Amino acid sequence: MPRFFGTPDGVKVGDLFIDRQDLRDRHVHLPPQSGISGTKAEGADSVVVSGGYADDEDHGDYFLYTGHGGRENGSRKHVKNQSPEAPGNAGLITNWALGLPTRVTRGRNPLSPYAPPAGYQYAGLFLVTEYWEELGVDGFLVLRFRLDRIAEQAPLVMRESAVPDPAFATTTVSRRVRDSAIAREVKRIYENRCQVCGIRIAGIGNRDYSEGAHVKPLGRPHLGSDTIDNILCLCPNHHTQLDIGGMVLLDDFRAIATNGGDVIAQLRFESSHQVLVANARYHRTMWGPPSPSAAG
């Protein structure tokens, strides 16, 4: 089953859980012991923050998280360098490269005013906004990840107010976080190449980037479906152009510039993927009809 990057059904920000088995039963965090659930190929769908590393820093709405590995069993002490290829670390790097959200759960930690007094508490979805390598307190290289809470969520009630970060006060993180398993399948079909321009954006460690674009938008009032016949694989530029009405799709799936009616491209489709003409027609009604010259 593909990893799910979002909040599971029936789970709310602030929900409390008794133990790791409770987290697993509710599909919040599946590993029974590891703090990171993820792989390089898929990304990291969830992490647990419980102060397990001396380098960890929790500031409420953001935290600095130390990667996996390098410790003696049952100890917080590092005895070797951490590896960016370790599954959990590689998964978080994939999230950073592709803009995937990560579920964050805090475990009991007497040193943190943001942790629950017992058990575990779901803190919501966060984005990996930075990562780097540095020398840890034990003298070995560790991987450090900064995770920032996505704003469009219910507020999390904590024992103390979250500490703002002045360095990030004027920075807007604008990454698309709706990335369903179906969208990932469409991107796999096209090997992350844009169906309009053919561009594939290369990232670190063969982590190519593209975006799953819904032709008929999700949510009210449109109520488009999160299905393969409503999703295109696009580069960020053409995804944005589609979303803001800069281009529309004709019934033969030529992409047309809304201003002027010039043909941008004939969309490329693989045999295993097709978008419903009805979804393209709905998108056109949002932005007005194309010019007669383009429709001819």
170 has a pLDDT exceeding 60? no
272 has a pLDDT exceeding 60? yes
Q: Residue 126: which of 156, 154, 146, 155 has the closest Cα?
A: 146
User: What does the alpha-carbon distance between residue 64 and residue 39 come to, in Å, rounded to a whole number?
Assistant: 20
CATH 2.30.280.10 residue ranges for the chain:
16-152
Instruction: Report the CATH fold assignment for 16-152.
Output: PUA domain-like (2.30.280)
295 has a pLDDT exceeding 60? no
Comparing 37-41, 78-82, 263-267, 282-286, which segment has the lowest mean pLDDT? 78-82
How much is the pLDDT for 255?
Answer: 96
Assess contact for 210 and 193: CB atoms under 8 A: yes
What does the DSSP 8-state code read for residue 33?
Answer: S
Mean pLDDT of the chain: 86
- Note the pTM of the prediction, 2 decimals: 0.67
User: What does the alpha-carbon distance between residue 120 and residue 21 come to, in Å, rounded to a whole number?
Assistant: 11
Q: Residue 49: which of 205, 37, 39, 41 has the closest Cα?
A: 37
How much is the pLDDT for 173?
Answer: 41
Q: Looking up tokens 């792989």, which residue turns up?
A: 39
How much is the pLDDT for 159?
Answer: 66
Instruction: Enter the tokens of residue 256.
Output: 């047309």
Confidence of residue 162 (pLDDT cuts 50, 70, 90): low
Confidence of residue 1 (pLDDT cuts 50, 70, 90): low
